[in-house]
Amino acid sequence: MHLKNIRGPGTGHILGMKSVPWLTSDGCLSRFSAHLRVARRSYAAFVLEGIGQGRRDDLYKARASGRILGEDHFIERVLTQAEGRVRKGVILDDIVATVCSVFDMHGDELAAPGRKRMPSRLRGVIGLLVQEMGDATLTAVAERFGRDLSSISRNVAAVQRLIKEDQVFRQRYMEAKNYAISQA
């Protein structure tokens, strides 16, 4: 079976074969890779692997007030993990203001043309915070700063590596994150 034969707007949109304006795919694709092409290939392999299973009723059951789909043990695990997570809801403008304040940069510098290191990193910090705690998407971050989604995704991946490798940067990132949490 070929992916072009699969019905529904989701898969075609995620794979870049169709455009569905109301559907975002960056959250899904980011789970497969930070690189768009690699993420789409990995997603396609994942979908093709699952096709042989046919319809799985356990994926269509709604539990936990309709917020989560899946088997009971999966729902319990998700709800348990969610209790320790930051609540969603911080808006993009607040995240941008927080990051600019903590890293001492004016917001206009983040949208300025060019590929300077610090503005790129801070766009990555903003993207990572949006993924972790914001209501926005990486697409919204890209639009806000006049960049394409793949650039923002690369910035986020670079920031994730930097957080692991650079203790000073990690501390500043955590300062921005904790401040954003306190403002939520």
Per-residue pLDDT of the chain in tens (184 residues, 90 and over written 9): 455 555 555 777 677 777 766 667 787 888 888 888 888 888 888 877 777 777 666 555 444 444 555 666 666 666 666 655 444 456 888 899 999 999 899 888 998 888 788 999 999 999 999 888 866 788 889 989 999 888 999 999 999 999 999 999 999 999 988 888 777 6
The verdict on 63 and 24 lying in the same domain is: no
Domain count, the chain: 3
The verdict on 120 and 172 lying in the same domain is: yes
Find the domain containing 68 and state its range. Answer: 55-85
- pTM value surpassing 0.75: no
How many angstroms separate the CA atoms of 128 and 105, rounded? Answer: 17
Give the residue from 175, 182, 8 showing the smallest Cα distance to 101: 175
The verdict on 61 and 12 lying in the same domain is: no
The verdict on 120 and 179 lying in the same domain is: yes
The verdict on 12 and 61 lying in the same domain is: no
